[in-house]
Amino acid sequence: MQPDAHWNPQPPRSHAIGDHDVPLDSDHLAGKRVALLVTGGIAAMKCPMIARALRRHGAEVTAIATGEGLRYVTEDTLAWSTDRPVVTQLSPRAEHLSGSEPFDAYLVAPATYNTINKMACGIADGTVTATLASALGRLERGGCAVLLCPTMHGSMHTQILAESLVRLQKLGVQVIAPRDDYGKHNLPDEEPIVRAVCRALSRSPLHSRRALVTGGPVPAPIDAVRRISSRFTGALGVAIARELDLCGCEVELVLGSGSVAAPAAPAWIRHQIARDVTHYRSLVLGALEIPTHAAVLSAAVADFAPSEVRAGKVPSAEGPWRIELQPTEKVIDVVHRLHPALPLIGFKYEECCEVDELLKVASARASQHGACVANRGEDTPDGGVQTAWFVAAGHDPIHVSGKALIARTIREHLERVLEAHPMARDAPR
């Protein structure tokens, strides 16, 4: 047995978050009311985690459950996870109408075969189906979003079900694709469900716009095997892509080879891997051949490349190897030259640099490209929280700490740019 196999019981560290509270991941659902409709499938056991995931983005969640749904998850668990009373039956308050406090979104998770077909046929014979009948009426008037997560055994995927789902989608209902496994339609993980709700409720100027995001180390080869690279991971680039994606933006993500975040990039965010600086340039310029509304170029592109790349693998037995390095082309300058109206955000990293000097360089970059994120190595110790200064032309620098806040600051800046400049909303070329 390993010496650390036994736990020395210690009390948990104190924390300011209360028992019912959740840490906030974003503000995408701040001020939004979401009805979580729980129907009678075994997947209902996951509903408390869905509720808390929605709340981590700022939503106020109310669970509305059928009696069958409560066979698989308890009313107390739903009340704890939502921090609100659970609606199990209709009263004179007409909970299904949500008149005085209307819901912004209705999320049916899990959505069973029975509920989907009843909904498509206009049957309102219970708490959940009556709520959905009202939700469809509000949806017709543009007053809410309605989303379904179908879950059932594969043998229940009939033509009847398919026709019902097609009919509901024609009415504006959004169907969140299930996770197909073991011959069943399973409930997806919380992340794609929350993403669908965030995008459905987003009123961001970035919604339905297209943005290019780059991140991670982009190396320069010295032979067929070895390369010059940096210690950056690409995690910030992925965080920025996620932030823009949640507000409904269509994101194209280019990650450098060696980005540890590449496998973690969500499947719904289109991403490509740049093998080296030349390939990176090609991918970036190729992506901008499609109308694009903003570009966030956070990739750590190698600043130097060898004047000659040796063929094959240079044997170490050859002894010392002298390599002449030449500065590489600044792709952001190429992008700005080819697409001068495109809102750009560049990045600047320095070591052993005074803050005033860093901000001076960042301000010069911002005056040229529009905005710059600048940081120093000494401000982010190994394993520490990344800090940076966001510098936009004509504005005072903003000091931000943590990748999530950096990504949010970038998103808010782009929203202001697209809101203030109509030309930027027309995909400059």
Distance separating alpha carbons of residues 65 and 76, to the nearest angstrom? 12
In 227-361 the beta strands, taken as DSSP E runs, fall at 227-228, 250-256, 270-274, 294-297, 300-301, 304-306, 325-327, 344-350
pTM for this prediction: 0.91
Residue spans of alpha helices (H) in 276-402 = 277-287, 331-338, 355-369
Q: Any residues with CB less than 8 A from the CB of 257 and at least 6 apart, and which?
A: 216, 217, 218, 219, 273, 274, 275, 276
Predicted local distance difference test score (pLDDT) of residue 111:
97
Domains 33-201 and 210-426 share a fold: yes
Distance (Å, rounded) from C-alpha 20 to C-alpha 77?
11
Residue type for position 86: V
Helix (H) or strand (E) segment spanning residue 247? none
Q: What is the pLDDT of residue 424?
A: 52
Give the span between the Cα atoms of 265 and 234, in whole angstroms.
10
Q: Could you tell me the sign of the dihedral formed by the alpha carbons of 23, 28, 33, 39, in that order?
A: negative
Q: Please provide the CATH number assigned to the domain covering 210-426.
A: 3.40.50.10300
**CB-based contacts of 155, cutoff 8 Å, min separation 6:** none
Q: Hey, what are 90's tokens?
A: 């209709």
Residue with token string 């503000």: 27
Would you state the pLDDT for residue 99? 74
44's CB contacts (< 8 A; 6+ apart) are 38, 65, 69, 71, 72, 73, 110
Assign domain 33-201 to a CATH class: alpha beta
Domain boundaries, the chain: 33-201, 210-426
Q: Going by C-beta distance under 8 Å and a sequence separation of 6 or more, which residues neighbour residue 122?
A: 133
Q: What is the pLDDT along the chain (429 residues), one digit of tens a residue?
A: 466 678 888 888 888 888 888 999 999 999 999 999 999 999 999 999 999 999 999 999 999 999 999 999 999 999 999 999 999 998 877 777 877 789 999 999 999 999 999 999 999 999 999 999 999 999 999 999 999 999 999 999 999 999 999 999 999 999 999 999 999 999 999 999 999 999 999 999 999 999 999 999 999 999 888 898 888 889 999 999 999 999 999 999 999 998 888 777 788 899 999 999 999 999 999 999 999 999 999 999 999 999 888 889 888 888 888 889 999 999 999 999 999 999 999 999 988 889 999 999 999 999 999 999 999 888 876 667 889 999 998 899 999 999 999 999 999 999 999 988 754 555 544
